[in-house]
Structure 1
């Protein structure tokens, strides 16, 4: 058994880069928490080396990122009126984000940019080696997690794919995003959060990537429902489109899709316990949305999953109108063409069943009745 040492990993990152400032004096403590988690997993030599490489890569990336912000006028970049797509995982938000990104007047994050952000990618040429490196990384990720291309076909864009906002703080050591931790044979896990600090880092990433580029409207996607105060604190002029789906279907789909990811990474998974953990984590979100006054904030446009699936482009047109934006004909055309050429089942049909739920389905329907009533959601039946 090889034991990882957080202090050694941090010192190595500083020595290899010649840089010292992580931009946050609390970061070493979070690295130590992650290292403790990995050491408790009793990784073999290969796993420990992969973990050390992953941690080292995140640490050096952060050091270079902070150095860029110290020596370049990145803080002068204004992030104006961004659009955010949100909703519980498995609610259609990735398709929504992909369609929003088809508008040539908008800009979305790309995986290669957040995986290898330094130096700022704005001046990058078409053959920037970071693009090819991110593509190769994604081929390795999909090789490690074969079911992911079925449950999430958007991964076929490889390094040009659209990351969730959460990926911008991977080097903050608060979440083990699969696209950062795929080399390490452990179940992904989240650590204590600081939403204000995370959105500050998110804002810095947008400034970083926008640098030297013509300003465009940012279109972003993440699971922001429990972090609204921090999001609006960072982006007071943001507008959010929030898709709501029947919680029972969301939970069942999450258990299968995310369970497949974790099983592929860790090599094994206690599916019964994983289902229980997923239910407990996600049901808390649905209940919290009923008591958070910010859910009714006038900057949020709520959409039913049923309506979005029936007419995705029409739903986006409604969001544009809500946000006071014109909906150009070119944007609508590009979105409709995307739907034709990017079928959701292009790598096979993702299947799941409510049989995976560790709680009786009717009990869950009863539990979430208030949520369905609040957002006008019908019980979803699947063929």
Structure 2
């Protein structure tokens, strides 16, 4: 099997792009860590070539991204009072984000923009080839991961879909996002985090995409609960809506949804071990929220999943009022039209049960009782 060399891949990207500056002197260390994981994944030659192509593409994209910041006044773009949707994965945050993005006074990230950010997409024409390329990429992604359209029907927007904030860090080599690594036959992995550096890069991406466009209010979605300090340091005028759901249902849904993605990518999955790994990472989050003083920050609007599901638009209206944003009739109508024409089960019903949990359900209910009490979350029963 061919062994990848991170330094060779870095040099290849620089030669291909004709550029040298990655914008971060520590990037090479992260690339080496990622490449070490790839080399230990037992990929065949096809998989190794796909991994090499992916690494080069991410590195080349980053080089062009930072070259743009040298040649254009991107750093002068002001990002004012963004709105963030957050919560644990499988808590309804994607629907929340999709509805926020229906407000014509707001702007959301689009996959084609973060997959191919250079040159800045603001001046791009409607027939910019990057749109078609991202659409083609997404068709390939969904062919590779068939269950994903069921668990996440919003992917039907293809390149115009709404990425999570974490996707802006793909070329930072801190996470192996499926929408960047789908060609590589290995399970998704996360790597050491540096929230201040990550949010600085996130802000750069917003500036990049906003450039040459009329300023709008950004509406964003990501898993920010363990990175609140860095988020508010970067965006002190931000407001956050945080959805809280029964942890037992969250964990069971995560295991199935993310397990399906990883099984499709890698071709196989040890479901027992995957369930154990998933629950350990996620349960730590629920416990951490009880001790983090920033969870009570006055810029955060906490809502219950059951209330959001009962009336998503009214929930958003409450968040707008909290954030001091006008909830126009046009925005409300657009959101209600979206709900009427985009059923969550339009590609089939995503199914899961608590049977996948590696810990007895009653034990988990006891474990998370303090979390449920803190955020007013009931035990959720499924039919």
Deviations 1:332-355 (A, max 9, x none): 000000000000000000000000
User: Aligned residue for 2:153?
Assistant: 153
User: Aligned residue for 1:69?
Assistant: 69
User: Aligned residue for 2:253?
Assistant: 253
User: Aligned residue for 1:177?
Assistant: 177
Matches within 5 A, 1:332-351: 332-351=332-351
User: Aligned residue for 2:83?
Assistant: 83
Structure 2: any 5+ residue segments left out of the alignment? none
Once the two structures are TM-superposed, the CA of residue 262 in structure 1 deviates from its matched residue by 0.2
User: Aligned residue for 1:317?
Assistant: 317
User: Aligned residue for 1:4?
Assistant: 4
Contact 1:2 1:43 in 2 (8 A): no
Matches within 5 A, 1:224-373: 224-373=224-373
Structure 1: any 5+ residue segments left out of the alignment? none
What SS does the corresponding residue of 1:338 show, helix, strand or coil? helix
Question: Could you state the TM-score of these two structures normalised by the residue count of structure 1?
Answer: 1.00
What SS does the corresponding residue of 2:262 show, helix, strand or coil? helix
User: Aligned residue for 1:376?
Assistant: 376
What SS does the corresponding residue of 1:355 show, helix, strand or coil? helix
User: Aligned residue for 1:100?
Assistant: 100
Matched, 1:221 2:221: yes
| Runs (4+) off by over 3 Å | none
What SS does the corresponding residue of 1:122 show, helix, strand or coil? coil
Question: Could you state the TM-score of these two structures normalised by the residue count of structure 2?
Answer: 1.00
Once the two structures are TM-superposed, the CA of residue 43 in structure 1 deviates from its matched residue by 1.0
Once the two structures are TM-superposed, the CA of residue 319 in structure 1 deviates from its matched residue by 0.1
Contact 1:262 1:269 in 2 (8 A): yes
Once the two structures are TM-superposed, the CA of residue 62 in structure 1 deviates from its matched residue by 0.2
CA distance in 1, matches of 2:84, 2:220: 5
User: Aligned residue for 1:34?
Assistant: 34
CA distance in 2, matches of 1:280, 1:43: 27
CA distance in 2, matches of 1:77, 1:26: 26
CA distance in 2, matches of 1:207, 1:76: 8
User: Aligned residue for 1:144?
Assistant: 144
Contact 1:252 1:356 in 2 (8 A): yes
What SS does the corresponding residue of 2:32 show, helix, strand or coil? helix
Once the two structures are TM-superposed, the CA of residue 213 in structure 1 deviates from its matched residue by 0.1
CA distance in 2, matches of 1:275, 1:325: 41
